[in-house]
């Protein structure tokens, strides 16, 4: 890869930590040298899905070798609470056990191993209560963590009854474990006057600061949270790092010693929430051409025992039910069911994938019902690109003003040879009784901005030192996605200096206050603009000085390649900085950004919640073994709209990674709870995520040539989450292969998601039975 020093932005550049990552020198929270006297904590977990806790006998825990102390809910100095929006999420269970795996006590010992061993020795005296493990049943009983949501436009009921064709049914999609490689971890260091410093692997340092302050009953100004990087977050460290930060801090405050709490994989998976599994009831009416006329949908999500982020996740699901398609007459309900399982949370896409997947399922069914090509039906339902047309406004009232669905998907259709390959697959399937191939081309439209409007703000802080080097702080966190690299590029560009002169400091609540989570794919959009604001202020001050020193107009001053020049006059950037210092010019600046033009009425579910849309399309080709249900992805062609990409190398990595992660969700990752409500898939031995060997032999990723219509940082577009939805093409290619068993069949191919080999085999057998009928 070309490390382009001359062109800091809009150019390929290696990840700022790439060398440290591959050489093992990158410092993660667990690698921070431990202070003398550091103790290690582990959590004691509930063995019951639902029970009243009468008494807990901790004598064996306390007597276990190396144990220093054990803390329960009663020992928390402040609030026993870590719910991000609704306060229904205790740090430690108090009185009632709400899921198997819920933390009940903290044990602190001389070593990590000794703490973990002791944590198993508690004796629970409980009254077992009936556990609700089924989201459909919970919703039917009115067990919801927040009130139901309802979005309505037009008259779905009338359009459904008058439609020439109608399909009704139920479907569901499974959840997904974030499976960040670095597990949850926090290292709490007590300071003087009751202050607390916490190193934590988190997407949301400010939220950790506030949760710790409340738990310790101190002010937020007494808590400092620092995160240099995460080994992945994927949404799982947006709110749910709080439990770990609070527990470590509570123990550290009580013992006045540094305490580290590092979850091992099993505990991490048993304790923390995942992507919500969704349960759908749908009723769709359409015409002969496959155009949707009316749609009524109810979505039930598994919230788990508490609300966490289930509300905004459901809102995003409702707002992405359209994916790329105009919905004239719709009625959508969303229910967040309370179950006695982990509290589900953010996961890449944040409900968007669960909403959009259903409409893609319907597009596929409509095409099969009418005997049409699924991509033809899809493009026939696309939003109208003409902004004066009614068919360009989303069901929540936002016009799709920057619609490039047609040119983008047509480009992929042509370049990836959809027609030729479809014909070749049909020919292959005719002569191949056991192995069947399939393909699918699916589009993506994804709204960019937090759907909670006030979260769309960010801060930056830029320091220029006297040697001309620059230190940058901003509110975003690095989880591997490359935000620090992009931020560094933005600052280097504004100051006309090479990237090696810029360093991005660890994210620190003491540097930038009241930050939003690095989430909703907005990290670079928000923080990039904030640091640009700071850098421009500094450049303006230096420009005035350069104009004065050179006797030329400010408009003629150029900052480029570590030199400041106008006409014949030039001066190294570092020299100009020293001159500025001697003239007592301020050499550091803050910056701020708030996304303009967005608004949202949550009661009506109407507004313009997104700043713009990101688009993409994918064509996947698979082969399925109809005797075993095994399958393989043969080829994937991905096209993604990153606007003017700040860094095409990083964006390509995000597109490929998101796609493979989405493929894992829809085809191999399966969460299973046993009849007692214990998650039995809590380690890689039983929970299968995609590996390198699952990448297709033909794997083409391209960025669509586009410029963001919205005025974003260098007109780039967000890239973190939307590519996950490109994996829909894999699921529907598998469905297409199964349909190949009986090409004349005009019904629903009954494939459930995830399409594991078992699910595929079930669908194959059902399809085979249609042959003999
Ligand atoms: N990429 C890597 N390597 N690791 C991650 O944890 N998280 C994803 C995405 N890409 C993630 C990732 C999620 S869920 C989000 S919201 C975005 O990155 C957040 O970063 P951004 O806003 O800077 O794109
Ligand atoms: N909204 C959203 C949110 O669209 N994405 C998020 O990650 C999020 N997180 C918290 C609250 N609202
Ligand atoms: Mo990403 S799910 O918004 O952290």
At 396-449, the pLDDT tens digits run 999 999 999 999 999 999 999 999 999 999 999 999 999 999 999 999 999 999
**Numbered ranges of CATH 3.90.1170.50 in the chain:** 38-130+178-271
Q: Which residues are part of the catalytic machinery?
A: 721
Q: Of all atoms in ligand 3, which is nearest to the CA of residue 721?
A: 1
Which CATH number describes the domain made up of 38-130+178-271?
A: 3.90.1170.50
Tokens 């690109």 belong to 385
Residue 387: which pLDDT band, with cuts at 50, 70 and 90? confident
Ligand nearest to the CA of 476: 1
Ligand 2 centroid, distance to 760 Cα (angstroms): 34
Query: Residues of the chain with pLDDT > 70: what percent?
Result: 99
Tell me the per-residue pLDDT of 209-251, one tens digit each, with 9 for 90 and over: 999 999 999 999 999 999 999 999 999 999 999 999 999 999 9
d(CA 591, ligand 2 centre) in Å: 23
Q: Does 722 sit in the ligand 3 pocket, CB within 6 Å? A: no
Tell me which of 314, 448, 455, 610 to substitute to probe ligand 2's pocket, judged by most ligand atoms within 8 Å of the beta carbon: 455
From 661, 721, 722, 723, the mutation candidate for ligand 1 (largest count of ligand atoms within 8 A of CB) is: 721
- Ligand 1 cavity residues, CB under 6 Å: 232-235, 348, 476, 479-481, 483, 518-524, 654, 657, 718, 720-721
Q: Which ligand is nearest to the CA of 477?
A: 1
How confident is the model over 504-560, as pLDDT tens digits?
A: 999 999 999 999 999 999 999 999 999 999 999 999 999 999 999 999 999 999 999
Residue from 204, 522, 721 to probe ligand 3 pocket by mutation (most atoms less than 8 Å from CB): 721
pLDDT tops 80 at residue 67: yes
Burial class (CB in 10 A: 0-12, 13-18, 19+), 431: exposed
- 397-449+611-773 — its CATH code? 3.30.365.10
* Closest C-alpha residue for ligand 3 atom 4: 235
Which numbered atom of ligand 1 lies nearest the CA of 482? Answer: 23
Q: Which ligand is nearest to the CA of 656?
A: 1
Protein residues whose CB sits closer than 6 Å to any atom of ligand 2: 238, 309, 312, 316, 346, 350, 450-452, 455, 517, 519-520
CA gap 110, 257 in Å, rounded = 12
Contact 136, 300 (CB under 8 A): yes
Contact 576, 466 (CB under 8 A): no
User: Which atom of ligand 1 is found nearest the CA of 346?
Assistant: 14
* Spatial distance between the Cα atoms of 764 and 102, rounded to a whole number of angstroms: 39
* Mean pLDDT confidence for 105-115: 98
- Mean pLDDT over 376-400 rounds to 96
**Is 50 exceeded by the pLDDT of residue 154?**
yes
Q: Which atom of ligand 1 is nearest to the CA of 348?
A: 14
Among 479, 517, 521, 612, which residue has the most ligand 2 atoms within 8 Å of its CB, making it the best to mutate?
A: 517
Q: How confident is the model at residue 344 (pLDDT cuts 50, 70, 90)?
A: very high
Atom of ligand 3 nearest to the CA of 347: 2
CA of 232 to the centre of ligand 3 (A): 11
pLDDT at 33 over 70: yes
User: If you take atom 7 of ligand 1, which residue's CA is the nearest one?
Assistant: 234
Of 502, 579, 568, 570, nearest in space to 542 by CA: 579
164-190: average pLDDT: 98
Q: From the alpha carbon of 517, which atom of ligand 3 is closest?
A: 4
Residues 6+ apart with CB under 8 A from 292: 284, 285, 286, 325, 326, 327, 328, 362, 366, 381
CATH architecture of the domain formed by 457-515+523-594: 2-Layer Sandwich (3.30)
Q: How far is the CA of 253 from the centre of ligand 1 (A)?
A: 32
- Give the residue range(s) of CATH 3.30.365.10 domains in the chain: 132-177+274-381, 397-449+611-773, 457-515+523-594
The confidence score (pLDDT) of residue 773 equals 59
* Percentage with pLDDT > 90 across the chain: 98
Alpha carbon of 416 to those of 413, 698, 726: distances in Å?
Answer: 6, 11, 15
Residue 417 is predicted with a pLDDT of 98
Residue 754 CA to residue 765 CA, distance in Å, equals 17
Residue listed under structure tokens 């015409």: 287
Mean pLDDT estimate for the chain: 97
Residue 8 pLDDT: 81
233 Cα to the center of ligand 3, angstroms: 8
Ligand 2: centre distance to CA 323 (Å) = 18
Q: Which atom of ligand 2 is nearest to the CA of 346?
A: 7
Give CA–CA dist 420/416, Å, rounded. Answer: 9
Model pLDDT, residue 2: 39
CATH number of 132-177+274-381: 3.30.365.10
Mean pLDDT calculated for residue range 576-601:
98
Q: Give the alpha-carbon dihedral of 575, 577, 580, 586, to 10 degrees.
A: -170
Q: How far is the CA of 520 from the centre of ligand 2 (A)?
A: 6
Average pLDDT over residues 456-482: 98
Q: Quick one: pLDDT band at residue 6, thresholds 50, 70, 90? A: low
Q: What pLDDT score does 381 carry? A: 98
The Å distance, Cα 235 to ligand 3 centre, comes to 4
Cis peptide leading into residue 754 (ω within 30°)? yes
């Amino acid at each position: 890869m070309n490390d382009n020093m001359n062109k800091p932005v809009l150019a390929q550049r290696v990840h700022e930590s790439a060398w440290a990552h591959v050489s093992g020198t990158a410092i993660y929270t667990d690698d921070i040298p431990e202070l003398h006297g550091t103790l290690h904590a582990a959590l004691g977990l509930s063995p019951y899905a639902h029970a009243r806790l009468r008494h807990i006998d901790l004598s064996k825990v306390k007597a276990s070798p190396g144990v220093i102390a054990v803390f329960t809910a009663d020992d928390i100095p402040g609030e026993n609470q870590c719910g991000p929006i609704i306060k229904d999420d205790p740090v430690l269970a108090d009185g009632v056990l709400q899921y198997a795996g819920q933390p009940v006590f903290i044990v602190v010992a001389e070593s990590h191993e000794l703490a973990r061993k002791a944590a198993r020795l508690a004796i629970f005296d409980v009254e077992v209560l009936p556990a609700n493990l089924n989201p459909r049943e919970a919703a039917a009983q009115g067990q919801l963590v927040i009130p139901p949501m309802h979005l309505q436009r037009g008259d779905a009921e009338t359009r459904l009854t008058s439609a020439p064709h109608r399909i009704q049914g139920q479907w569901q999609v499974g959840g997904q474990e974030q499976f960040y490689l670095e597990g949850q971890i926090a290292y709490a260091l007590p300071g003087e006057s009751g202050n607390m410093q916490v190193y934590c692997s988190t997407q949301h340092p400010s939220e950790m600061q506030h949760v710790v302050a409340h738990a310790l009953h101190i002010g937020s100004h007494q808590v400092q949270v620092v995160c240099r990087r995460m080994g992945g977050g994927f949404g799982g460290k947006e709110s749910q790092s709080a439990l770990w930060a609070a527990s470590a801090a509570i123990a550290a405050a009580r013992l006045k010693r540094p305490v580290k709490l590092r979850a091992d994989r099993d505990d991490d998976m048993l304790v923390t929430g995942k992507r919500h599994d969704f349960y759908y009831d749908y009723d769709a009416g359409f015409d002969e051409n496959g155009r949707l006329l009316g749609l009524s949908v109810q979505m039930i999500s598994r919230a788990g025992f508490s609300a966490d982020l289930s509300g905004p996740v459901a809102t995003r699901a409702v707002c992405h039910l359209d994916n790329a398609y105009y919905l004239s007459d719709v009625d959508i309900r969303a229910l967040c069911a309370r179950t006695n399982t982990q509290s589900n949370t953010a996961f890449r896409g944040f409900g968007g994938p669960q909403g959009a997947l259903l409409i893609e399922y319907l597009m596929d069914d409509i095409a099969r019902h009418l005997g049409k090509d699924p991509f033809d039906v899809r493009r026939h339902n696309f939003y109208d690109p003409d902004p004066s047309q009614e068919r360009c406004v989303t069901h929540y009232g936002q016009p799709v003003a920057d619609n490039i669905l047609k040119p983008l998907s047509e480009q992929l259709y042509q370049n990836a040879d959809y027609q030729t390959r479809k014909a070749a697959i049909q020919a292959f399937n005719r002569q191949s009784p056991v192995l069947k191939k399939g393909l699918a081309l699916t589009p993506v439209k994804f709204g960019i901005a937090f759907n909670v409007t006030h979260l769309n703000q960010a801060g930056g802080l830029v320091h220029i030192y006297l040697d001309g080097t620059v230190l940058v702080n901003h509110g975003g966190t690095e989880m591997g996605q490359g935000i620090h690299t992009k931020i560094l590029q933005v600052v280097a560009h504004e100051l006309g200096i090479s990237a090696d002169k810029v360093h991005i400091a660890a994210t620190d609540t003491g540097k930038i206050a009241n930050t939003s989570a690095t989430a909703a794919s907005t990290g670079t959009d928000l923080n990039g603009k904030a640091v640009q604001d700071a850098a421009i202020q500094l450049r303006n001050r230096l420009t005035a000085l350069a104009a004065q020193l050179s006797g030329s107009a400010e408009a003629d001053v150029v900052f480029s390649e570590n030199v400041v020049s106008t006409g014949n006059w030039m001066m190294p950037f570092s020299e100009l900085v020293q001159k500025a210092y001697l003239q007592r010019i301020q050499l550091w600046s803050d910056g701020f950004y708030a996304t303009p033009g967005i608004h949202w009425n949550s009661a009506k579910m109407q507004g313009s919640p997104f700043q713009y849309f990101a688009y993409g399309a994918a064509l996947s080709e698979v082969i399925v073994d109809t005797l075993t249900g095994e399958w393989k992805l043969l080829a994937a062609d991905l096209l993604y709209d990153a606007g003017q990409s700040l860094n095409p190398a990083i964006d390509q990595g995000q597109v490929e990674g998101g796609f493979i992660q989405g493929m894992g969700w829809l085809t191999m990752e399966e969460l299973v709870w046993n009849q007692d409500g214990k998650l039995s898939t809590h380690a890689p031995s039983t929970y299968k995520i995609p590996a390198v060997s699952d990448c297709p032999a033909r794997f083409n990723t391209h960025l669509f040539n586009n410029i963001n219509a919205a005025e974003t940082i260098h007109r780039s577009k967000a890239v973190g989450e939307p590519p996950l939805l490109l994996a829909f093409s894999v699921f529907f290619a598998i469905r297409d292969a199964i349909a190949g068993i009986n090409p004349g069949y005009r019904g629903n191919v009954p494939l459930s998601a995830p399409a594991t080999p078992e699910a595929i085999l079930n669908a194959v057998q059902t399809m085979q039975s249609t042959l003999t009928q």
